[in-house]
Amino acid sequence: MDIIKSTVFFTKKNLKSILPPQRKKKISQCQLLPSKQPIYITPEIKTTWPAVDEVDSTTPKKYTQVLSLLPVYLLQLCYGMNTGFPAILNPQLGEPCSEFQISEDQESWIVSLDNLLTPIICISSGFLQHKLGPLKVLMFSCLPYTLGWITAAAARNVYHLYISRILVGISHAILSTTVYTVEMSSRNMRGTFSMLESVLRCTGCLLVYSLGLYFRWWQIACFAPFVPVLAFFCCLYSPESPVFLVSRGRLKEAEQKVRKLYGD
């Protein structure tokens, strides 16, 4: 029996020297999860890693963003006014005592001609915003709106109204594809600011419908240009998009615009 025990002990001792060393035990993914114990942050780490309450307290300023988006909202109001304008124009021109008479086919052209150049302008609008900047393209959209209202106010036949609707369609296309609102608003307010554009479009339609109860179509077209003109002057005081400035390498100017919009 002693001989068997000594033989087994000798065999184990020799096998340990021949066999490779055992591999380290694998760590499961559950062991890599954070423990439930509280983690204490040292002062050195806290200087480079702010606490959650400190990050939430530095929320971006909202009133500066609203002021910078004021030209967009004025143009959206003008968009709705132009959309609802044919709804009072055609019935008033169909009256026996109207300024000039139009046929049913001409009524349909007045309603639909604002979509004539929209596809072409929408395609080129993205290129122009990338090349010139969203703010400059937004300033340009004020011009067709103004000329369209002036042409409608001075219209003496249906062809003048055709020209007015074509000019309006140019600004419609630019305003529908603008990225100024997205690039100027913070992520927590972007949805709210974008929703306000649709609200102002509906407000513009209701405004024109209400004015149509008391005024003639040419009277409405006389004072309506003040809306895009006011939007143009607001653009002069609005900052350019920081995203566009960074893409052009104007980092110092982009940093100043961001501080002006969101604070420190």
Across the range 20-26, mean pLDDT stands at: 51
- What gap in Å lies between CA 49 and CA 95, rounded to an integer? 72
pLDDT tens digit string along 250-263?
888 888 888 877 87
Question: pLDDT band at residue 12, thresholds of 50, 70 and 90?
Answer: low
Predicted pLDDT of residue 4: 55
- What gap in Å lies between CA 263 and CA 259, rounded to an integer? 5
% residues pLDDT > 90 (the chain):
42
Assign domain 71-238 to its CATH superfamily: MFS general substrate transporter like domains (1.20.1250.20)
Predicted pLDDT of residue 162: 94
* DSSP letter string, 162-217: HHHHHHHHHHHHHHHT--HHHHHS-TTTHHHHHHHHHHHHHHHHHHHHHHTTTS-H
Residues 224 and 81: beta-carbon distance below 8 Å? yes
Question: Where are the chain's structural domains?
Answer: 71-238
Number of helical (H) and strand (E) elements in the chain, helices listed first: 16, 0
Using the predicted structure, report yes or no on whether residue 17 has a pLDDT greater than 90: no
Q: What is the DSSP letter of 103?
A: -
pTM of the shown model:
0.74
Rg of the Cα atoms in the chain: 34
- What gap in Å lies between CA 152 and CA 221, rounded to an integer? 6
More confident of the two residues 90 and 62? 90
Predicted pLDDT of residue 47: 43
Query: What is the overall mean pLDDT for the chain?
Result: 81
Using the predicted structure, report yes or no on whether residue 44 has a pLDDT greater than 50: no
pLDDT tens digit string along 180-207?
888 888 888 888 888 889 999 999 999 9
pLDDT tens digit string along 78-122?
999 999 999 999 999 988 888 888 888 999 999 989 888 888 898
- CA 231, 235, 236, 238 dihedral sign is positive
